[in-house]
Amino acid sequence: MTDSDRDLILKTYADANSVFEFGIGESSRIAAAVNVPRYSGVDSDPSYIEKTRNEVNNNRFRFYFADIGVTKAWGQPIERVSKAVLNYQIAPLLSELLPFDVYFVDGRYRVACVCMCFLHALEHGSTQAKVLLHDYNKKGRMAYHVLETIADISDQSKNGILITLRLKDSIFSEDVFKL
């Protein structure tokens, strides 16, 4: 993560009352530093969840473990298993009955997770949710650009690696689900 990425996260989280993260770590520590009132995050590495939980030391923060099978560095699955989709993209948000102001996607299955963020927000009555997406303009990640069919980029870090997405006014749940 670059300083410009950190600045955008800090600015966004400082104005947020609630944050949900796909992929935890440095951004979770930023959420704790600015005292986000309601926070939840999911990760596929149980030891990293424990480490982050200890570092933020905040009883209001909720962490989910997504069992996507055996993982290697950065929570990357060693092999594809069918339970991965439900455990990572869907299950944590099913437990959350209120929308979040900000969703941050910096983990597995990024396009699907961004879609789930928007679907979760819409299902719970929010059309104003922001979704931060990391590694957007990184080499080899052009598949993420399909998200511009349903959302506009409203902010970005200096290098364009971290972007903020807002759902387009003309987009509905059905459109997001199709993507």
Tokens found for residue 101: 């102001």
pLDDT digits over 24-42, tens only? 999 999 999 999 999 999 9
Using DSSP bridges, classify how beta strands 130-133 and 102-105 pair: parallel, antiparallel or unpaired.
parallel
Confidence of residue 69 (pLDDT cuts 50, 70, 90): low
Most confident of 51-65, 74-88, 161-175: 161-175
Q: What is the mean pLDDT of residues 84-111?
A: 87
Q: How many CB atoms neighbour CB 132 within 10 A?
A: 27
Mean residue pLDDT of the chain comes to: 90
pLDDT digits over 114-155, tens only? 999 999 999 999 999 999 999 998 887 889 999 999 999 999
DSSP 96: -
Using DSSP bridges, classify how beta strands 163-167 and 130-133 pair: parallel, antiparallel or unpaired.
antiparallel
pLDDT > 80? residue 4: yes
- Which of 174, 18, 1 lies closest to 103 in space, CA to CA? 18
